[in-house]
Amino acid sequence: MATSLLIRNGLLIDPDPVPVVRSGDVLVEDGVIAAVETSLPDVPGAEVIDAMDRIVMPGFVDTHRHTWQAGIRSVAPDVTFAKYLGRVLGELAPRYRPEDAYIGNLAGALECLDGGVTTLLDWSHVQLTPGHTDAVVDALRRSGIRAVFGYCYGGDGGPQGLAAEGRRVRERYFDRSGGLLSMAVAALGPEIAGEELALHEWRLARDLDLPLSVHMGGHGAESAERGLAFLVKNDLLGPRTTFVHPNFYTDDALRRIGDSGGTASVSPFVEAGLGIGHPATGRARANGVPTGLGADTVASAPGDMFSVMRAAYALERARPEGAGMGLTTGDVLRMATIEGARVAGLGEVTGSLTPGKQADLVLLRADTLGMAPVHDPIGAVVLSADRSAVDTVIVGGRVVKRDGVLCHHDVPALLAALTESAGYLVAGG
């Protein structure tokens, strides 16, 4: 049965090809944006959402988040990257049971939806057993978010285990196109876990025809240069690869990545806070590398895209001698929407108000003390809005947040389960 949703009287922001603001209506048919016009005719049987005093725009795209860490929020503030690794991955991650991974991932995905993030690259390195993986994928499905599941093998089966389990996950959960979930390989090599593992991770991505996301360029200039040389030597530098935290790459290296078809994901709040280098936001984009934004980890940073956008904007424009002053709020909004969608490999699916794309939309209140009066809607979204402004969230035409309240989930029960899991984890199991 066909379903229709008509959003009327909104202040529309479409970030593609450049951010454009206008008043108008949006028609959604069977989960897809069917029309965007100044005034659309009534549609018999359609649900109507009055967007008066609302900004209507594509949902945010988070290109790098360890979603499973929602239960250990703020457990590692004021630390260096090395101490974060020791506390979170060395001490806490091994304590996770499948049920902890499930509740953390579900809570983390719903946190995204609550804040207007409709698409997520879930960089998931809590795959200690197949049971953990099954739990995490189930949580993503139940949340209602659009997600790329970044699979990072965490078992003890070596290269054979990586290949076998990666193939199992691909065939069991992601063998058909369409739907809200897709898969990528989340690689630990070559800079974190070594070059030998990287060869097997890249081979898995190619064998399964999957994109790949890797932490590279954030571990010092020497490591960045050595890692990129390894990719070039082994014919691994190419498209469908996202470089996370590429802050220590030279401009020449960034151009090489851009020329190869690679993309970047910047997590400015985490990078500044943990000392992973000054975010390469403007340099990456200036050198032809499409760049998305990510919250990364709520263990050490906020989890909302508004904070991430403001950090990206402020840190770039604070570069010495005004080097980053050319970055605009429109650039930041594009990174949080259409450019992020392209980084996640979903640029043809979501990220803009283009008819034919999936209806992943967010309605932001413009009638609050923190937002009104809205002189510049793009500037208001990037510099003034926060989670409280998120009135309505729609994923694939389905309303998942309405009038400021999440739908389809028992949030108090979820928070109780998350608190119980967190108590188990931080107490040492």
pLDDT digits (tens, 9 = 90+) for 376-395: 999 999 999 999 999 999 99
Letter for the amino acid at 31? G
Across 351-371, average pLDDT: 98
Residue 198, CB-side half-sphere exposure with 13 Å CA sphere: 22
DSSP state of 375: S
| Helix or strand holding residue 195 (H, E) | helix 195-207
Q: Does position 97 have pLDDT exceeding 80, yes or no?
A: yes
Q: Does position 421 have pLDDT exceeding 90, yes or no?
A: yes
Q: Does position 1 have pLDDT exceeding 60, yes or no?
A: no
Residue 422, CB-side half-sphere exposure with 13 Å CA sphere: 18
Across 271-296, average pLDDT: 97
Q: Does position 82 have pLDDT exceeding 80, yes or no?
A: yes
- Specify the pLDDT at position 413: 98
pLDDT band for position 176 (cuts 50, 70, 90): confident
Domains of the chain are: 4-58+357-406 (2.30.40.10), 60-343 (3.20.20.140)
- Specify the pLDDT at position 429: 63
- Specify the pLDDT at position 178: 78
Percent of the chain with pLDDT over 70: 99
pLDDT of 226-242, one tens digit each?
A: 999 999 999 999 999 99
pTM score:
0.97
Letter for the amino acid at 16? D
- Specify the pLDDT at position 278: 96
Those residues whose C-beta lies under 8 Å from the C-beta of residue 161, and which sit 6 or more positions away, are 153, 155
Percent of the chain with pLDDT over 90: 97
